[in-house]
Each structure stands twice: as C-alpha cells, then as structure tokens.
C-alpha cells in the first residue's frame, strides 16, 4: 500500500553522567510513557485530526478532498491504515500523480489530542506533457501507437490526448478530452475528434471516417452505462479493381448521426482468462434521429458465464446476438451490418467470411447469433507452474452461429426459423497465451462443419489475436 510511516514510540537516548536523575527512575518514567503512547496506537478509539497533502503544484485541493475525506472516519489505527491505503489508490487512479506515499504520525501542537493522529500524503505530480510509444493488439490485427498527453490540464484530473496509430488494417489519429466528475471518477465525459482510415479485405472495401463524438460514462447500482452521440462523415471506396458490383454500389459518401447506449454487468475476475463470474452487455444504437442520411435501429447482446472445475480447469459458455432494423425505408449500409467468422468468433472459418456475399466479397448481415462452449485447462504436466507457464492454457472448443438478412414483414417466428437454418459450426483444440490483461493469442486446430456455399474456411491450424473472443 505504498510507504506507511509511524513515529517511533521509543524514548530518546540520553547519555552523560550529569543528568540529575536516578537511572532506575529514568527507566520507570520511560516505561510508563511508552506504555501510554503504545496504548494510543492500539486503543480502539483514535481520532484523525489532520490530513495533509504535500507536493501539490497545479492540482486543485478541492479535487483531492473528495478522495481522502473517508480517512477522517477511521476509529482505530488499523482502520486508519486501511482507509489511507484506499485513499492512496483513489489518488493514483486519477492519473495525475507519479507517486503517492503515506505518513501516519501522532498529532502535535496545542490542539493535539492524546489519541490524535495526523495523516500526510506525499505526492509527486506527473509532468505537464508526456509522450508514449506502444503497440496494441485488436481483433486479429496489430498497430503501433504514438501519443502525447497533457495530464491534469486544468488542475482537476482533466486530460487532453493526441494519438496516432498505424496498424495492419487501420490508420488513425485523433484528439480527445477527458473530464471526470470530482469525487466520482467513474462518472466522466469524453470528447473525441478523429479520422480513421481502414481496409476490409473480406469485403474489398476501404473506409475513411471523419467524426466527432461525446460519451458519458457512469455507474448505476451494479451496472455500468455509456451514453454516446457520434457524428461521422463516411467515405467508402473499393479496395481493388476486382471489387464486386454490390460493393461498388455502396461506395460514396454518407453522413451518420447516431445515439447509442451500452449497459454492462461484469463480475468476472479477469477479462482475458476468467475463471469465475459472468458478463452481460446490452447495446442499442439509433441512427438518423439526430440528422444524417443513415437511419436504423441496432441491438446487440453479449453474454458469458465462467465456472471453475477440477484441476484448475474452467468451463466457459458465451452467446452473441444482434439485429439491425433499417428505418424510413432506407436500406442498411455495408459499414453498419454485422460480420461473423474467423479466429475470434466462429473458428475454422475465414475472417468475417460467413453469410451473404457477392463475387467473393462479403456483404455482412442484418441479424446474427453465435454461441461457444470452451474448456480451458493447464498445460499437460504443468511446465513453468507458478511462472511463465501460467500464461498458457490448453483450449477445447465448440462454436456455432449464423448470419443472414431478414424480411421484417414475415414476423418473429419466420426470423427465428431463418436464423436456425444453415447453421455453421466447428470444433477443435489448441493453445491460448495471455498477453498481460489486455489481449490473448490462440493457436487452434479447427474442424469446420455446416459449411455453406460461398463460405471461406480455414480447415486445420488457425492463428488468432485479439481482445474479444467468442
């Protein structure tokens, strides 16, 4: 919990022959004094009289008052240490301090109480301008990221960030401003201005987005919510001269203005290798209500349940599903539809190579579902147990799903029947590697089944990298 200091209760050493006191009396006095002070620390009742913060420069004190105020409510030394540790974590979470250390001492001064304590936080602020260089892993893609940040820009944990990313499929740059609510860091506002150019070889399509967005994040009970507005000017083009006519018809410019809401409940102990807990995420997007020439309603759901079994093995079940409903009689755009297939969803099939297609270019679908059942076990004979070997898991899986377009005049029963037809599924086994707590790699031997005409398969060994897996 950082460095916690306590003032020594031992008496100061006294030397020399002319002190004018009897050595026996000296021992008795110090012992009584030491016992009294020791009782202060071990007594159930203590009072935190002062909480000080040292090392502040541009940070406003009123922001930090929300984060450390709970320390005043401590009633014994152990409670003081626990609440000081929590306060330290809250200060570090703000992202404005490089170091935070804690000093707990007995109160001094004319107003000091016999059982009074002073708590001091010694902080080191992050520089006004910082730079970063790192690599990121997306869904079967990687990128190099360069960034410049102005942390604590206005003194209340605001952050201005410029970021440039060059990847295997995307190139982007953007400017974002982050503002948390004082005393409630989970409730924050983010403003973004960006340009993204991406290539989608499964559709022979390239897309350039120029847009801005505003996103509000906040918790509500056990759930987390995100409200977002996005306005984006999209330019679609052909990636190759052989691009199909169906994709060429989608080329051109469009203006999308959309409101979206995401609600999630996540009780998993890890986002990459969970061994217990569950995840529920519901997303809705409404485009066209606030302007633009694209109109649709989009629903998406994700469910995952994990349970630990014997011998450190974990059974995991997951379900994805979604539906896109065009509005105002306008057809859906290829950039808004769902895509399915590949090492991060239905393994054994090509990347996003399931469902409607034209001349080998995949067009996406307006409805889909996908389910997975997975068994993760430690490596045989547990090599590297307690160290590097714990980053690996043996993986057995069974995946199934479907992607199609619906005739919305047919009713729900016809929709379910359509989604239940031509189910693609696969099974196999492989090895999974965890990359920190942000991504994972999979190397699987896959056996695709239920292959339909036009599907692209990957029969045998398949490699996948990403942050979100079925």
pLDDT digits (tens, 9 = 90+) for 246-299: 999 989 999 999 999 999 999 999 888 899 999 999 999 999 988 888 999 999
pLDDT of residue 224: 96
DSSP state of 82: H
Indicate the domain borders of the chain. Answer: 35-125, 181-466
CB 393, CB 339: distance < 8 Å: no
Mean pLDDT of 316-338: 92
pLDDT of residue 85: 92
pTM comes to: 0.83
Q: Is residue 8 packed enough to be buried (19+ CB in 10 Å), middle (13-18) or exposed (0-12)?
A: exposed
Distances (CA, A) of 39 to 32, 76, 77, 113, 266: 11, 11, 11, 13, 44
pLDDT of residue 429: 95
CB 315, CB 287: distance < 8 Å: no
pLDDT of residue 17: 39
**Is residue 65 predicted with pLDDT exceeding 90?**
no
pLDDT digits (tens, 9 = 90+) for 425-463: 999 999 999 887 888 899 999 999 989 888 999 889 999
Alpha carbon distance 300, 101 (integer Å)? 44
pLDDT of residue 382: 77
pLDDT digits (tens, 9 = 90+) for 162-194: 999 988 888 899 999 999 998 899 999 999 999
Mean pLDDT of 141-152: 88
CATH superfamily entry for domain 35-125: membrane protein fhac (3.10.20.310)
The three state secondary structure string of 221-238 is: CCEEEEEEEEEEEEEEEE
pLDDT digits (tens, 9 = 90+) for 28-61: 444 544 455 555 455 568 888 888 899 888 898 8
pLDDT of residue 321: 95
pLDDT of residue 41: 54
pLDDT of residue 372: 95
Q: Provide the token pair at 302.
A: 């994700």
Q: What is the mean pLDDT of the chain?
A: 86
As a whole-number percent, the residues of the chain with pLDDT over 90 amount to: 53
Q: Provide the token pair at 26.
A: 């000296």
**Is residue 348 predicted with pLDDT exceeding 90?**
yes
Mean pLDDT of 335-342: 93
pLDDT of residue 39: 53
Phi/psi zone of residue 140: left (φ > 0), alpha (ψ -120 to 50 degrees), beta?
Answer: left
Mean pLDDT of 150-161: 92
Angle, in degrees to the nearest 10, between helices 77-93 and 61-68 = 130
**Which of the four pLDDT bands, split at 50, 70 and 90, describes residue 15?**
very low
pLDDT: which is higher, 23 or 429: 429
Q: Give the bridge partners for 431, in sequence order.
A: 394, 443
Mean pLDDT of 95-104: 91
**Is residue 219 predicted with pLDDT exceeding 50?**
yes
**Which of the four pLDDT bands, split at 50, 70 and 90, describes residue 216?**
very high
**Which of the four pLDDT bands, split at 50, 70 and 90, describes residue 134?**
confident
Exposure string over 309-332, b if 16+ CB within 10 A, otherwise e: eeeebbebebebbbbbebeeeeeb
Domain 181-466 falls under CATH 3.40.50.300: no
pLDDT of residue 9: 38
């Amino acid at each position: 919990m950082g460095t916690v200091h306590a003032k020594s209760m031992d008496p100061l050493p006294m030397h020399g022959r002319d002190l004018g006191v009897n050595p026996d009396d000296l021992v008795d006095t110090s012992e009584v004094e030491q016992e009294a002070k020791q009782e202060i620390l071990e007594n159930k009742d203590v009072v935190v009289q002062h909480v000080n913060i040292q090392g502040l420069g541009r940070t406003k004190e009123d922001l930090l008052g929300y984060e450390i105020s709970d320390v005043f409510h401590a009633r014994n030394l152990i409670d003081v240490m626990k609440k000081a540790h929590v306060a330290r974590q809250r200060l570090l979470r703000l992202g404005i301090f490089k170091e935070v250390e804690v000093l707990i001492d007995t109160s001094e001064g004319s107003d000091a109480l016999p059982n009074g304590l002073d708590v001091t936080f010694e902080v080191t602020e992050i520089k006004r301008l910082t730079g970063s260089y790192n690599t990121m892993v997306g869904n079967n893609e990687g990128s190099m990221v360069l960034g410049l940040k102005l942390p604590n820009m206005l003194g209340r944990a605001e952050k201005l960030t410029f970021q440039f990313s060059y990847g295997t499929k995307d190139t982007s740059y953007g400017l974002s401003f982050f503002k948390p609510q004082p005393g409630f860091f989970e409730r924050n506002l983010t403003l973004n201005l960006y340009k993204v150019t991406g290539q989608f070889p499964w559709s022979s399509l390239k897309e350039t987005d120029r847009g801005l967005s505003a996103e509000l994040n906040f918790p509500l009970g056990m759930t987390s919510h995100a409200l977002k507005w996005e306005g984006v000017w999209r330019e679609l083009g052909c990636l190759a001269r052989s691009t199909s006519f169906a994709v060429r018809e989608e080329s051109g410019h469009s203006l999308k203005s959309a409101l979206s809401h995401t609600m999630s409940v996540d009780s998993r102990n890890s986002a990459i290798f969970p061994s217990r807990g569950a995840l529920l995420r519901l997303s809705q997007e409404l485009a066209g209500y606030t302007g633009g020439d694209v109109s649709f309603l989009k629903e998406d759901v994700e469910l995952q349940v994990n349970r630990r079994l014997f011998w450190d093995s974990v059974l995991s079940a997951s379900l994805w599903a979604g539906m896109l409903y065009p509005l105002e009689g306008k057809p859906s755009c290829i950039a808004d539809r769902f895509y399915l297939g590949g090492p991060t969803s239905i393994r054994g099939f090509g990347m996003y190579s399931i469902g409607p297609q034209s001349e080998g270019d995949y067009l996406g679908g307006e409805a889909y579902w996908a389910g997975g059942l997975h068994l993760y076990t430690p490596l045989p004979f547990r090599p590297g147990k307690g160290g590097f070997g714990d980053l690996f898991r043996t993986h057995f899986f069974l995946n199934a799903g479907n992607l199609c377009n619906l005739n919305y005049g047919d009713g729900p029963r016809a929709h379910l029947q359509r989604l239940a037809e031509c189910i693609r599924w696969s099974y196999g086994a492989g090895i999974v590697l965890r990359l920190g707590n942000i991504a994972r790699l999979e190397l699987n031997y896959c056996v695709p089944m239920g292959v339909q005409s036009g599907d692209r398969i990957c029969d045998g060994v398949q490699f996948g990298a990403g942050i979100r897996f079925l």
